[in-house]
Structure 1
Amino acid sequence: MLIPTQAASPHAPAGAPTSPALFSLLPHYVDPDAHFLSLDGANALHTPGLREAWQALEHCISQQTILCICGPSGTGKTFASRALLPALAPDNHHHLLLRAHPDPADLRFALHHALDLDHAPPKDPGVADALIGDALRDQRPVLVVDEAQQLSDACFEYVRHLFDTTGGLTVMLIAGDHGERVLAKQRMLNSRTGARLALAPLHRRDITLALRNLHPLWQPVPSAALHAADARYGQGSLRRWACLTRHAQRALARTDRTELTPALLITLIDRLTSHR
C-alpha cells in the first residue's frame, strides 16, 4: 500500500467513523446488498483489507486524489466501496454503471446520469463536459469505477482531463486480477494517485475468527473443520465463503437441521468442487 506521509487535510469529512478492531463488526449500518449474493444474516467485518481501504479512502477524500485498489476476486475490493462510502461520503458517492470495455462516451453518459444533470446528455462532447465539470466542482463526489482494468487509454485520458479541470477529484479505481499492471502503465495516475492498495485473501490464522463473526452459521463449527474447508474451497476468499454459506443455509433448510456439522460441510464442498 502507498499512502503519502503528508498530514491529512483539515477538510476531512466531518463525522467520519473511527476505525474499529480487526474482524469486529463495522459500527455503522451496511446495506445487506453490499455482500456477495446479498447474503442473509451476514455481518460487515473490519478485515485487514477493509482497514487499509478505510484509511486510504479518508486520505484520498481529504486530498481529492485517486485511489487504486487491486487484488484477486473475493478479497473485498467492491465490498469496501459499498460498505465504507455511505459512512465516509454519505449521499455523495456514485458507482458508475459502465459496459464492458467502455469508451469516453460511456463515461460521459454515466457521469451525466450519476450527477443527476437535467435533461438528456448533450450530443456535443464539449458542452457535456462543461456541465459535468461544473457539477463535479460543485458536488465534489467520490466516483467509483469497478473493473478499471478494462478502461481504454482514452478513458484514462478523460479521467485526467476531469481531474485537472476540476482542481482534483476523488476516483476509486477498482481493478481485478492482474489489474495492477494495467493501472501501473498509466503515467497520468502517477501524480494524481493518493494511495494504492493491493488486497489479499484472508490469512489462515484469521479464518476462524473472521467466519464466526461473519455469520452465526459458522459459530458452532470446529476450527479444524473451518481450516480444512478453507484449504479445500474457501482459500481466504470471503466471496467463496459467502457462496458456501448460501449452500449451507439451503442444505439446513432442506433437512430441517439447525446446526452445520463437519460431515455436512464436507459433503457441500464435495458437491461444489466435483466439477472443478
Structure 2
Amino acid sequence: MSTPTTSPRPSQLPPPSQDHYLGLTGANAMATKAVAETEARILKAIKHNAMVCIHGHVGLGKTFAVHTVLRRRAPETTVRLRYNNGANMNEIRTQLWRRLDLPGEPPQSVGPCDQQIQDALEAEPRVLLIDEVQGLGTKALEYFRNLWGDDARRAAIIFVGSGNARQKILNNPALHSRILDWYQFSPLTPTEVQAIIPAYQQTWAGTQPELILYADDMAGHGSFRNWARITLLLHDALEENPDLALSKDLIRWVLSRIDPTTRHTPQRS
C-alpha cells in the first residue's frame, strides 16, 4: 500500500524575475557580501526560531537579498507579509490569517483570532517575512513581538525595512531586546562596483572601469536600484539605435533623463 504524498505548499515569494527594478532584461543575481551576510542572519533566525532585522537605505538590495536567500532556504515555509503604511490591527491580523491559509474569515473577536494564528504557527515551522517594517505602528510591532512569544518562539521572524526601521524597533525596548541579530545594508564601494557591474548585465560587459566609476559617481552611488535604472535606459537606447556605442556622452544623456538638471550637449562626430 503506497503512502499518500502531499503537494508542496506554493511559495509566497515572488518569482526571481520580479526582483530586479522594472524587470530589467538580462539582469543577473550577484553574489555580493551583503547577500552572504543576509543569509547568515536568516539561517540563524531559522535555526533558533529567532527574530532578526535587515535594514538600510532604499534601493540597496535588501528585499532582493532576503528573497534570494529564502527561496533557497525556506521556499515553502515563508509567510510573506507586506503592509501599507500605517496598517491597522484588523488589516494586520487579516493578512496574516490569509497568508497562513486558515479557513474562512478571521473571527471578529481578537482573542479567538489570535489563538488560531498562534496554533497555526506552532503546528509547523514557519518563517515570517515582514517587509517595509518602517511603515508599521507601535501596536503592530508589539503584536508581532507577542505573537513570537518567549518560551514559545512560534516562528522565525525576519524584519526588513528602510528609513527609520531600526529606530522604530529601538523605540520598542521589549522588541529590541529580543532581536537576535542585525544587518545594515550599505552602498557598494567603488571597488565592488568595478567588480560587480560588468557581470550585472550584458550592457556593461567589457566596459572600461573608468566609465563605470563615472556612472557610479554621477548617478549610481552604489545603489542597485540606481544602476538598474541607468542600465535599463542604456539598454533601450542601444537596442533602439544599434549605431550607438556605450560612451561617456551616452551615459550623460541617460543622466539627463534621470535628472533633468544634468546638462547634456550631444557630441558631434
Q: Distance in 1 between matches of 2:48 and 2:158?
A: 13
In the alignment, what sits opposite 1:187?
Answer: 173
Shift in Å, 1:212: 1.2
Query: Which runs of structure 2 are paired with 1:22-101 in the superposition (5 Å)?
Result: 31-101=16-86
Check if 1:135 corresponds to 2:81: no
Q: Deviations over 1:218-258 (max 9, x none)?
A: 11221101101100100000010011111111111221358
In the alignment, what sits opposite 1:149?
Answer: 134
Check if 1:159 corresponds to 2:144: yes
Q: Distance in 1 between matches of 2:137 and 2:190?
A: 37
Asked whether the equivalents of residues 39 and 66 of structure 2 are also in contact (C-alpha less than 8 Å), the reply is no
Query: Which runs of structure 2 are paired with 1:180-259 in the superposition (5 Å)?
Result: 180-257=166-243
Shift of the 140–258 alpha-carbon distance from structure 1 to 2, 3 Å rule, reads farther
TM-score using structure 2 length: 0.86
Asked whether the equivalents of residues 107 and 155 of structure 1 are also in contact (C-alpha less than 8 Å), the reply is yes
Asked whether the equivalents of residues 112 and 132 of structure 1 are also in contact (C-alpha less than 8 Å), the reply is yes
Q: Which runs of 5+ in 2 are unaligned?
A: 1-14, 263-269
Shift of the 275–114 alpha-carbon distance from structure 1 to 2, 3 Å rule, reads farther
**In structure 1, which of residues 116, 121, 140 is the aligned counterpart of residue 101 of structure 2?**
116
SS in structure 1 of the partner of residue 181 of structure 2: strand
In the alignment, what sits opposite 1:268?
Answer: 254
Asked whether the equivalents of residues 212 and 218 of structure 1 are also in contact (C-alpha less than 8 Å), the reply is yes
Which stretch of the first structure deviates more once superposed, 130-139 or 262-271?
Answer: 262-271
Shift in Å, 1:72: 0.7
Shift of the 99–178 alpha-carbon distance from structure 1 to 2, 3 Å rule, reads closer
Letter in 1 for 2:58: S
Q: Distance in 1 between matches of 2:84 and 2:163?
A: 18
In the alignment, what sits opposite 2:160?
Answer: 174
Shift of the 74–222 alpha-carbon distance from structure 1 to 2, 3 Å rule, reads same
Q: Distance in 2 between matches of 1:128 and 1:165?
A: 20
Asked whether the equivalents of residues 32 and 38 of structure 1 are also in contact (C-alpha less than 8 Å), the reply is yes
Q: Deviations over 1:204-226 (max 9, x none)?
A: 11112110121121112211011
Shift in Å, 1:33: 1.1
Q: Distance in 2 between matches of 1:139 and 1:250?
A: 47
Shift of the 166–90 alpha-carbon distance from structure 1 to 2, 3 Å rule, reads farther
Q: Distance in 2 between matches of 1:270 and 1:225?
A: 16
Asked whether the equivalents of residues 142 and 175 of structure 2 are also in contact (C-alpha less than 8 Å), the reply is no
Q: Distance in 1 between matches of 2:176 and 2:253?
A: 49
- The alignment-based identity, stated in percent, is 27
Which stretch of the first structure deviates more once superposed, 189-198 or 206-215?
Answer: 189-198
RMSD of aligned Cα (Å) = 1.8
Q: Distance in 2 between matches of 1:259 and 1:228?
A: 16
Query: Which runs of structure 2 are paired with 1:4-19 in the superposition (5 Å)?
Result: none
Asked whether the equivalents of residues 248 and 268 of structure 1 are also in contact (C-alpha less than 8 Å), the reply is yes
Shift in Å, 1:178: 3.1
Shift in Å, 1:166: 7.6
Letter in 1 for 2:54: I
